[in-house]
Amino acid sequence: MPVIEYKCPNCGSGMIFDSVSGALSCPSCGRQDNIEQIPDPLKRQVFTENEVKEYHCNSCGADIVTEPETSATTCSFCGAAVVLSDRLTGNLAPAMVIPFSINKDQAKQAFKKWCKNGLLTPSGFMSADRIQSITGMYVPFWLYELHNKIEVHGRGTKVRSYTQGDYHYTETQHFDIYRRIRLNYVNLPIDASEKMKDELMDKLEPFPYNQLKLFKTPYLAGYIAEKYSYTDEELFPRAKDKTRSYIDSYIASTVSGYSSVSYTDKQIDTTLKHADYVLLPVWMVNYDYNRAQYTFAMNGQTGKVVGKPPISKAKVTGWFAGVSAVSLLSLKLVSWMMGGGFL
């Protein structure tokens, strides 16, 4: 059976993951099971890939309609939390998961608070009363371990200037610079979901890695989960791209004491040591404002919110005018204090 549900052994209700206690809990009778101690039904099942095309809810028997990436969802008829186990096994088995620590109400509160802090968002938006949907989703990420062997050649100059007699001298010392660097990155996250915008996901970082748990399906109960759309090899270029600026700034930090440095040759040899498939918690908030849809993402552990809010033209104008006026006034004051007259 590719569909996993968690029935409460006491009362038979569907159990879901509770982000507060970190346990699999029953909303009806309050029973809580420690996830790390219950055997994962996934481990006992063997599937061949793409074996199953249809899923049926264990509770009501209805067809479970999902997108092809979905690996955990709720039954659209009876609301039971279901996990599609064949999408979580074999190559698709996540190594680890960071469970949610923020529940739906907390997420809503945090989002409302964030909306109020927006200095440029329209007042109508700040009330945050048009949340269309708020969905807890485990987003597939690859955590890369990358080893870089770097060799850099460059030219550096040290400039000294002094005055002697009627002449001003500029003395430039030229240096040949060489650096060989070993630079390793661990747990570099790259989101593997096609649906999620990369720049949105990048801004959600950092995720607290000390909360990483060995993957067990009960963590997904009650949430949406997706399987990866891209393999670690497919996303390797993006991982390299992401570290490129880190590497450049590391190199720059090793070349100090020069007035100017130019690199003639930079060789970066990156090897993919390994990549862990993990599921990271993200609250997706859909928001309706002025007939337009806005999507925000919230880190399910830290509560950090990202996403472009609408910008109020009036407030932009107000801030612009205010800041300009204040700085003009202070400039005037400075010039007045320097004896230049106020006008």
**Contacts to another protein from residues 7-26, by CB under 8 A:** none
Rg of the chain in Å (alpha carbons):
28
Closer residue to another protein, CB minimum distance, 133 or 245: 245
- Assess contact for 152 and 181: CB atoms under 8 A: yes
Which range touches another protein (CB under 8 A), out of 11-19, 103-111, 201-209, 229-237? 201-209
Cβ at position 281, least distance to another protein in Å: 17
169 contact partners, CB below 8 Å, separation of at least 6:
161, 162, 163
Cβ at position 219, least distance to another protein in Å: 24
Closer residue to another protein, CB minimum distance, 67 or 176: 176
SS3 of the chain: helix, strand, coil, percent, to 5: 25, 40, 35
Closer residue to another protein, CB minimum distance, 62 or 272: 272
Two structure tokens written together for 102? 């923020």
Asked whether position 185 contacts another protein by CB under 8 A, the answer is yes
Asked whether position 53 contacts another protein by CB under 8 A, the answer is no
DSSP string, 203-260: HHPPP-GGG-EE--GGGGTTSEEE--SS-TTTTHHHHHHHHHHHHHHHHHHHS-S-SE
Please pick, from the candidates 11, 20, 119, 214, the single residue that binds another protein as defined by CB under 8 A: 119
Beta carbons within 10 angstroms of residue 161's beta carbon = 9
Closer residue to another protein, CB minimum distance, 278 or 306: 306
Asked whether position 249 contacts another protein by CB under 8 A, the answer is yes
Nearest to 145 by CA among 95, 108, 111: 95
Please pick, from the candidates 194, 202, 233, 288, the single residue that binds another protein as defined by CB under 8 A: 202
Please pick, from the candidates 61, 182, 217, 218, the single residue that binds another protein as defined by CB under 8 A: 182
Please pick, from the candidates 21, 246, 259, 267, the single residue that binds another protein as defined by CB under 8 A: 246
The alpha carbon torsion through 278, 282, 286, 292 (nearest 10 deg) reads -70
Asked whether position 238 contacts another protein by CB under 8 A, the answer is no
Asked whether position 96 contacts another protein by CB under 8 A, the answer is no
Asked whether position 77 contacts another protein by CB under 8 A, the answer is no
Please pick, from the candidates 90, 206, 208, 237, the single residue that binds another protein as defined by CB under 8 A: 206
Interactions with another protein, residue window 260-319 (CB under 8 A): 304-309, 311, 314-319
Burial of 272 (0-12, 13-18, 19+ CB in 10 A): middle
Which range touches another protein (CB under 8 A), out of 38-46, 132-140, 162-170, 212-220? 162-170
Return the half-sphere exposure (C-beta side, CA atoms, 13 A cut-off) of residue 334: 6
